[in-house]
Chain A
Amino acid sequence: MLMFLTKRAAMTVFVLWGVLTVIFLVVRVVPGDPALTQLGPTASEEELAAFRARFGLDQPLFVQYFEFLRNAVVFDFGDSFRLGGPAIDHVMDRLPASLILAGTAMVIALVVSFPLGVRAALNPGGWADRISSVASLTIQGLPTFWVGIMLILIFARLLGWLPSGGGGSWQHVILPAVTMSLPLIGVIIRLVRSGLLEVMREGYIQTARSKGIGERVVVGVHGLRNVLIPVVTVLGLQFGVLIGGSVVVEMVFSWPGIGRLLIEAIGNRDYPVVQAAVAVMAMVFVALNLIVDLLYGVLDPRIRQGASR
């Protein structure tokens, strides 16, 4: 288990380093002079030089790179060009809103798809199976931003039940969270269904049945517990999709999260904020995947003990 953890931790550090490097490369090395893009073509040569000196842009690239890495370790991405103050502060202000939205979407997805997936697996070809196979295929094809707009059209404009955008109350969370949960629902239903179908053929399920344990307990305890591992794996990966999707959904619903901050910062060419936002999103994603790896140990004793395998 210790080996396993060390390896995972090393991988996490490696991935974070890679992400930071990509961010650095993309922002500093692609064509275009950052000083020129910030100050505009009317800036004098002195102004440009002053700007480069201030942000260390006159240093050799590898010096800039190490400076960037060193600062990134302590979450220092420089001051925002537009909003004033450290870029990271603006990102951290928005982080809770984004996490609330993603978390709610995840909960909705689990609550809807687990029962459907179980029903579909226990009765292949039945109504739940057919509904979920059609639904999971269709839902996954729907572009989230369009679904969001349609939900606004129906529930905010036509029915007037929920606010169309913004943040502040629990009603504001519902539409964006539902929008974000839809692609997940299709994925989880299919996973639970195929996982459970496979598990129910295992010997220990027969053993449990032969002991006279009720079918509910057989499915709920002996069956579902073993389905959790693939589900948790995919959920970890899906969080990346969720974070990516959150940018779009936050824009549709004017949700005050990191995604919207990122797009606004891009519009303002506020690169410190862009860097900080992308770095924080990547860190959240990597951290979640690490947690998922740790959960394996909890869910599956074989991984806990058999790490030396």
Chain B
Amino acid sequence: MTGSTLTTVAPVAPALRRRSSAPMWIAVGVLVLFVLAAAIGPLLLGYDGTKVDNAARLLPPGSVLSTGQIAWLGTDQVGRDVAAQIMQGARVSLIVGVATLILAGLLGTLIGVVSGYYGGAIDSIFMRIADIQLAFPSILLAILISAILGPSIVNVIIVLAISRWVTFARVARSATLAVKDREFVQAGRLLGAPDLSLLVRYVLPSALTSLVVVATVEFGLVIIAEASLSFLGLGTTDAMPSWGLIIANGRDYIPNAWWISTFPGIALAIVMVAIGVLGDRLRDRLDPSLA
């Protein structure tokens, strides 16, 4: 509902010498639906990860279940409703995405601001670590760490945060460098404001827009990374299936039950495209320098 209201309102907005803002509002609508699906979807459809219903195995989309419910997107190899699984998967993606962003964002911003503000040895050490990490495919690092930690939703969040803090650190650092010698910061320093309050009140706000843009893009990357890890069996477990895991489970049934893998992938693709569009437009509006 929210999605359609937004899209009809959008064209009214002034589009002076700007690209049409309609795609952005469609993207926002899609993401609102995604959040709603994650929040209330599992409550509406009900999902029991351990339920096994042999009579309802591998039913095609639109089949009527014994309970009278219609499985709009079919059922999987143990008779679970694919639509309900997708809702549950949305919840996992959202939790992992948000938690990882908070963790990686806080860690990266802290490191970046401190490095940029104090410079010197701290700066060199953290930035060399960042260089090493950027020179190393982040998904490999994630695979390596989760291989040792074992699959679980908390581990996925830790792993992804470790592999994704660098971008935040770099952006926060360059924003800090840009303002730390400006007059208003110097004035604060002269008046005896402690470093912490200078950082929080003057430096951080100037980094915020860039960080928001980065966070949007990273959100998509995190969700894809989580899905990939789960697909490889290194992410979430069957009790809390993510889209990646559902796709992996459906893979063996591709010849006779194409819908198990297909629909979660479509859901993932739609969310990813929406995030991509939103990130693109936000960057244009808030911080073209990041392009």
Which residues of A line the B interface, CB within 8 A? 11, 14-15, 18-19, 22-23, 26-27, 30, 32, 137-138, 140-147, 149-150, 152-153, 157, 240-241, 243-245, 247-248, 251-252, 262-263, 266-267, 274, 278, 281-282, 285-286, 289
Q: 6 tightest CB-CB pairs across the interface, nearest first?
A: A141-B272, A18-B132, A146-B265, A244-B139, A244-B137, A266-B147
Q: Given the complex, which residues of B lie within 8 Å of A146, measured CB to CB?
A: 247, 261, 264-265, 268-269
Q: How far is the CA of A78 from the CA of B271 in the complex (A)?
A: 44
Q: How far is the CA of A122 from the CA of B232 in the complex (A)?
A: 42
Beyond the given pairs A15-B132, A26-B148, 16 more chain A to chain B contacts, judged by CB atoms under 8 angstroms and listed by A's residue number, are A18-B131, A18-B135, A26-B145, A27-B148, A137-B277, A140-B272, A143-B265, A147-B265, A149-B261, A153-B254, A153-B258, A240-B137, A247-B232, A266-B234, A274-B144, A274-B147
CB pair B149–A30 under 8 Å, yes or no, is yes
Q: Known: A248-B231, A266-B143. Is A142-B269 also a contact (CB below 8 A)?
A: yes
Which residues of B line the A interface, CB within 8 A? 128-129, 131-132, 135-141, 143-145, 147-149, 220, 224, 227-228, 231-234, 244, 247-248, 250-251, 254-255, 258, 261-262, 264-265, 268-269, 272-273, 275-277, 280
CB pair A157–B255 under 8 Å, yes or no, is yes
CB pair A22–B232 under 8 Å, yes or no, is no
Q: Given the complex, which residues of A lie within 8 Å of B144, measured CB to CB?
A: 22-23, 26-27, 274, 278
Q: Given the complex, which residues of A lie within 8 Å of B247, measured CB to CB?
A: 143, 145-146, 149
Contact of A143 among B129, B224, B277 (CB under 8 A): B224
Q: How far is the CA of A14 from the CA of B258 in the complex (A)?
A: 47
Q: Given the complex, which residues of A lie within 8 Å of B277, measured CB to CB?
A: 137
Q: Tell me how far the C-beta of B21 lies from the nearest C-beta in chain A, rounded to whole angstroms.
A: 16
Q: How far is the CA of A138 from the CA of B268 in the complex (A)?
A: 12
CB pair A141–B220 under 8 Å, yes or no, is yes
Q: Tell me how far the C-beta of B247 lies from the nearest C-beta in chain A, rounded to whole angstroms.
A: 6
CB pair B228–A145 under 8 Å, yes or no, is yes
Q: How far is the CA of A289 from the CA of B136 in the complex (A)?
A: 11
Q: Given the complex, which residues of B lie within 8 Å of A267, measured CB to CB?
A: 233
Q: How far is the CA of A44 from the CA of B173 in the complex (A)?
A: 51
Q: Tell me how far the C-beta of A106 lies from the nearest C-beta in chain B, rounded to whole angstroms.
A: 15
Q: Given the complex, which residues of B lie within 8 Å of A19, measured CB to CB?
A: 132, 135-136
Contact of B140 among A141, A281, A289 (CB under 8 A): A281
Q: Known: A22-B141, A32-B148, A266-B143. Is A285-B136 also a contact (CB below 8 A)?
A: yes
| 8 A-B contacts (beta carbon < 8 Å) | A30-B149, A141-B269, A142-B269, A146-B264, A149-B247, A263-B232, A266-B147, A281-B137
Q: Tell me how far the C-beta of B102 lies from the nearest C-beta in chain A, rounded to whole angstroms.
A: 23
Q: Given the complex, which residues of B lie within 8 Å of A157, measured CB to CB?
A: 254-255
Query: Which has the most chain A C-beta neighbours within 10 Å: B136, B244, B265, B280?
Result: B136
CB pair A141–B273 under 8 Å, yes or no, is yes
Q: How far is the CA of A145 from the CA of B66 in the complex (A)?
A: 33
Q: How far is the CA of A152 from the CA of B138 in the complex (A)?
A: 27
Q: Known: A30-B148, A140-B276, A146-B261. Is A244-B140 also a contact (CB below 8 A)?
A: yes
Q: Tell me how far the C-beta of B244 lies from the nearest C-beta in chain A, rounded to whole angstroms.
A: 7
Q: Given the complex, which residues of B lie within 8 Å of A266, measured CB to CB?
A: 143, 147, 234
Q: Tell me how far the C-beta of B250 lies from the nearest C-beta in chain A, rounded to whole angstroms.
A: 8
Q: How far is the CA of A26 from the CA of B280 in the complex (A)?
A: 35
Q: Given the complex, which residues of B lie within 8 Å of A263, measured CB to CB?
A: 143, 232-233
Q: Known: A30-B148, A138-B273, A278-B144. Is A143-B137 also a contact (CB below 8 A)?
A: no
Q: Given the complex, which residues of A lie within 8 Å of B227, measured CB to CB?
A: 143, 145
CB pair B132–A243 under 8 Å, yes or no, is no
In this complex, what residue of A is CB-closest to B145?
A: A26
Q: How far is the CA of A240 from the CA of B132 in the complex (A)?
A: 13
Q: Given the complex, which residues of A lie within 8 Å of B137, measured CB to CB?
A: 240-241, 243-244, 281-282, 285
Q: How far is the CA of A67 from the CA of B76 in the complex (A)?
A: 50
Q: Known: A22-B132, A143-B265, A244-B140. Is A137-B255 also a contact (CB below 8 A)?
A: no
CB pair A142–B140 under 8 Å, yes or no, is no
In this complex, what residue of B is CB-closest to A186?
A: B276
CB pair A137–B254 under 8 Å, yes or no, is no
Q: Tell me how far the C-beta of B280 lies from the nearest C-beta in chain A, rounded to whole angstroms.
A: 7
Q: Tell me how far the C-beta of B148 lies from the nearest C-beta in chain A, rounded to whole angstroms.
A: 5
Q: How far is the CA of A18 from the CA of B148 in the complex (A)?
A: 19
In this complex, what residue of A is CB-closest to B270?
A: A141
Q: How far is the CA of A254 from the CA of B244 in the complex (A)?
A: 17
Q: How far is the CA of A248 from the CA of B143 in the complex (A)?
A: 11
Q: How far is the CA of A267 from the CA of B232 in the complex (A)?
A: 10
Q: Tell me how far the C-beta of A250 lies from the nearest C-beta in chain B, rounded to whole angstroms.
A: 10
Q: Known: A19-B132, A262-B143. Is A143-B258 also a contact (CB below 8 A)?
A: no
CB pair B232–A143 under 8 Å, yes or no, is no
Contact of A248 among B128, B149, B228, B250 (CB under 8 A): B228
CB pair A22–B135 under 8 Å, yes or no, is no
Q: How far is the CA of A243 from the CA of B147 in the complex (A)?
A: 18
